[in-house]
Amino acid sequence: MIDRNLLLRAYRLMYSVKVMSDTYEANRQITRYVHSTSRGHEAIQLATAFQLNPSDWVSPYYRDESMLLGMGWTPYELMLQLLTKGDDPFTGGRSYYSHPNSKDKDKPGIIHQSSATGMQVIPTTGVAQGLKYLSLVTDSEKVHTGVMSSPASEYVSEGTTGNADNGASSKHKNYVHGSIVICSLGDASVTEGEVSEALQFAVLKQLPIIYLVQDNDWGISVTAEEGRAMDAYEYAAGFKGLNRIRVDGTDFFESYEVMQRVIEDVRQNQRPWLVHAKVCLLNHHTSGVRKEFYRSDEDLAKHALSDPLPKFRQPIVNDFGREYIEAMERQVEADIARQFEKAVASADPDPKAIEEYVFVPTPIIEETGERAPFGNNKVIMVDAALFAIRELMEDDPRCVLYGQDVGKRLGGVFREAATLGEQFGDNRVFNTAIQEAYIIGSTVGMSAVGLKPIVEVQFGDYIYPGFNQLVTEISKSCYLSMGKFPISTIIRVPVGAYGGGGPYHSGCVESTLLSIKGIKIAYPSNAADMKGLMKAAYYDPNPVVMLEHKGLYWSKVPGTEDAKTIEPSRDYILPFGKGAIVLEATRERLENGESVCIITYGMGVYWAKAAAKSFNGAIEVIDLRTLFPLDEELVFSRVRLHGKCLVLTEEQQNNSFAEALAGRISKTCFHYLDAPVEVMGALNIPAVPLNIGLEAAMLPNAEKLIALVAKMLRS
């Protein structure tokens, strides 16, 4: 039996949604930004929202305003986002209506929500993955967020997750036994391949998540018959271990009973469900794609027959009386009008704040610890990464490592995770399926619940399936949540060519990655930098991609012996954005104007050092170490000093990061240059050939570099 007060609240909110929708439609010049309303979906959304706890997590999608109202948000707060006002509590005017995020203690948590349908399923499943991990932690491994062993404790204040938010809400939703996750999506979005990746993982790991699929028969102008071979309920049958149920999502009573039963089962048994709710679409797809553009009168009339509002109104009137309900409706209309007027009058965002929250501040700003402690042995780069992660996992039980083949059976295809699985167990170091999108995107949810995931993509060439998640979810999360949800993750990516790796195991991907704003990118060239940057990346609350040249892992490539270094101390940390001069020109050459500054990174450092041997002190080599942030101060100061500059990269040259950097150098240092800034990169062909001779013909090397530098010195 549903409490009468809850029924009255449900009707009040359902009627509020109608009035809000009518208000928006009547004020189209004011509500000019694209938006959707939840008309036709109200019953299932409210029935779900009413049963959630503050310790739960939910990902509403862009038609879920009723769910937000049911969780406690006011029409005024939603209107602030609709009108892109500065006080929009979710994104500060940066995103669309019903694109929430929240860490409010009295409401369920909501990670950043994007418009890309289906893309939210992986990050939200990542939340459930994080909750599952927290539920499995033993008493001896208990995760105390913010309380860590040295050296991390100096960087994280007690009571936080380490995800500093630059003054925004820093409340952390600690794990509570029985916490669940709701992922809301439309039936049309289930056809996305990334939805399958998430369902696979949820079933495999038996995660506490409910996929609430709202099926209104439309995917913009595409009907279910045109776009889907089966509905979500039928599709779910292919995932063994995924419980499923159908419900009439326009019937509040049925929806409440089904969701109550499913939610209770997930709380008790910690297993995944898919709820397929049949609903109707009463309004436009969005305010910009209007129903009259593509829907027939017959279709609209058919959907109107299932309108949840009149279906629910009749029993409410029978219970409370017509006069009482009509008086309440008039009150709702007056309240909505007043809140809309107040929202319209509120201030717009300050344009001066447009660049805030791209990142939250990192505590790592200085190089600390011993880079080359006396008595330590030299280590190769792959071991430096391994040792860094081992120390991080020993210091912080929030640190987890996963990806393809990283578990204890193999420890990574490069043995870069060797022994970690045996030491820390399957809960903290584990294999995933071949799911680059899930590996990358799940870190959003893992980070949100306070964990610190380190994940691996086997080769740079295989990162592209994860780009949807990297671009749509990870890179935008901090900015669009106003710092509430920076993604604290390290994504390790082996890159580079040597020894016949071929077209799918040799690619360099930095230019593609650098086109994404909101992520940081490291590219170490030696063991000490690898360890120091790995530590800096871990303590940075923002997302980091570590590009690791597999040709430098073991220093097997001739001339790369210097990639081996003394292993730094346990507390050694190298901040991002600090390049290094790894070889200086002589004072005499510099004063005579007979020097060239080579700016490079990764394998380029060793080509440059090898070439420098032919020029008797005329070459300076700068190792960038991180590509974003970039040490522009070092680069520009050294170029001004030398007057001649060459940017060296392993990537194909045309339209590369190296060419972009050369352009910035030319502009900034124009008056100091004695010659045009040169660039050397790989040949502009689509892939690295498998044959070793062809591979060598494609790549830069010391000999090719010597010829270009000699020409520059003659000019």
The H or E element spanning position 491 is strand 490-495
Asked if 555 and 563 touch (Cβ cutoff 8 Å), the reply is: yes
Rg (CA), the chain: 28
Token pair of 649, please?
A: 């990269």
Catalytic residue among 284, 303, 505, 642: 505
What's the gap between Cα 304 and its chain centre? 39
Q: Cβ(37)–Cβ(283) under 8 Å?
A: yes
Q: CA-CA distance, 62 to 101, in Å (whole number)? A: 12
Active site residue 144: no
Query: Which tokens is 195 given?
Result: 């939805």
Element (H, E) at 646: strand 645-652
**CA distances to 182, 192, 382, 448, 473 from 121, in Å:** 10, 10, 33, 14, 11
C-beta of residue 546 within 8 angstroms of C-beta of residue 492: yes
Contact (Cβ atoms closer than 8 angstroms) between residue 656 and residue 604: no
CA distances from 704 to 79, 656, 685, 709 (A): 61, 19, 17, 9
CA geometry: angle 444, 448, 454, nearest 5 deg: 55
Distances (CA, A) of 501 to 296, 363, 408, 553, 623: 57, 38, 25, 14, 25
- Residue closest to 246 by CA, chosen among 477, 147, 254, 415: 254
Among candidates 280, 295, 63, which has minimal Cα distance to 184?
Answer: 63
Residue 145, H or E segment: none
Query: Which residues make beta-bridge pairs with 378?
Result: 566
Whether 682 and 607 have beta carbons less than 8 Å apart is answered as no
Q: Distances from the Cα of 154 to the Cαs of 194, 364, 529, in angstroms? A: 38, 10, 21
> Could you tell me the two tokens for 97?
């209506």
Beta bridge partners of 330: none
Sheet holding 580-583, edge to edge: 580-583, 619-623, 596-600, 645-652, 678-682
- Extract the tokens encoding 520: 């940081």
Residues annotated as catalytic are: 505
